[in-house]
Amino acid sequence: MNDTTPGLPLLQVHDGRATLTLNRPAHHNRLHVEDLQALGCHFEALANRADVQVLVLTGTGASFCSGFDIGSIDGGAASSNAGPRLFEQTVDALEALPLPTVCRLNGSVYGGATDLALACDFRIGVDDMTLRIPAVRLGLHYYPSGLRRFVSRLGLGAAKRLFLLAETIAAGELLRLGYLDRCVHASRLDDELQSVVDALLAGAPLALRGMKASLNEIARGEFEPDVLGEREARCAASDDLREGKAAFAERRMARFRGR
């Protein structure tokens, strides 16, 4: 199913790869409540699709995303249950997706969108992009799960620099901090993306999904050894492992089925 509604995120699925494209280029792909609702519906559907093995998240135009529509934040009592809370829930749903995710940062990223990208497993950016989180300059306290993601993935020092100083950080420094996994010229972005997608598609789905969940739980300090052991045992007894061993012995590409 491909959603082509103007303004809303666009979903395309082809050969095991789903691509979700933010679609408000005139406003740097800022996210409105209806965009978050659409993303949430897409994430829920993708989590249950056996024909999709990788999700790519990207944007149209000059920027990846400028974050949540600031004009929708009124500071009222209901705001914690409206846009800002929905934004947090949407990003958490992205992180919780069982399939591997790659963020194709076609341009700069700001505000809450920095966490949307961080919730993906990998981030590939262009070398002229920048990042800025202006929450402290607006009087906003960033939402809890976003702060947790930055600290657990980048470290406390980097998180304080990004949130408290509100610096504009260039692509090379984002690579050094570990926010970007790869940084390339715009002309090479899609080739670099394809190499990452191909590597993920070559992996056994059970092992990929199981280790993704386990690694994220370990990073949050929320892992249970018994749960990790169950995932390990499931892979050890899987048809995928038998196929992987046969392919290795026969020096051919494995044909995994996710079971």
| Domain residue limits, the chain | 10-200, 204-250
Quote the tokens at residue 78.
């209901």
pLDDT surpasses 80 at 184: yes
Alpha helices (H) along the chain: 33-46, 83-96, 113-118, 135-138, 144-154, 156-164, 171-177, 189-201, 205-220, 225-236, 239-250
What is the rounded CA–CA span in Å between residue 101 and residue 66?
20
What is the rounded CA–CA span in Å between residue 110 and residue 127?
16
Nearest residue to 94 (alpha-carbon basis) of 26, 25, 143, 47 = 47
Percent of the chain with pLDDT over 70: 93
pLDDT surpasses 90 at 214: yes
For the stretch 137-162, pLDDT in tens is: 989 899 999 999 999 999 999 999 99
pTM of the model: 0.91
Determine the topology of domain 10-200 in CATH. Answer: 2-enoyl-CoA Hydratase; Chain A, domain 1 (3.90.226)
What is the rounded CA–CA span in Å between residue 63 and residue 142?
21
Provide the pLDDT confidence category of residue 74 given band limits of 50, 70 and 90: low
What is the rounded CA–CA span in Å between residue 44 and residue 46?
6
Average pLDDT over residues 120-145: 95
145 in Cβ contact with 91 (< 8 Å):
yes
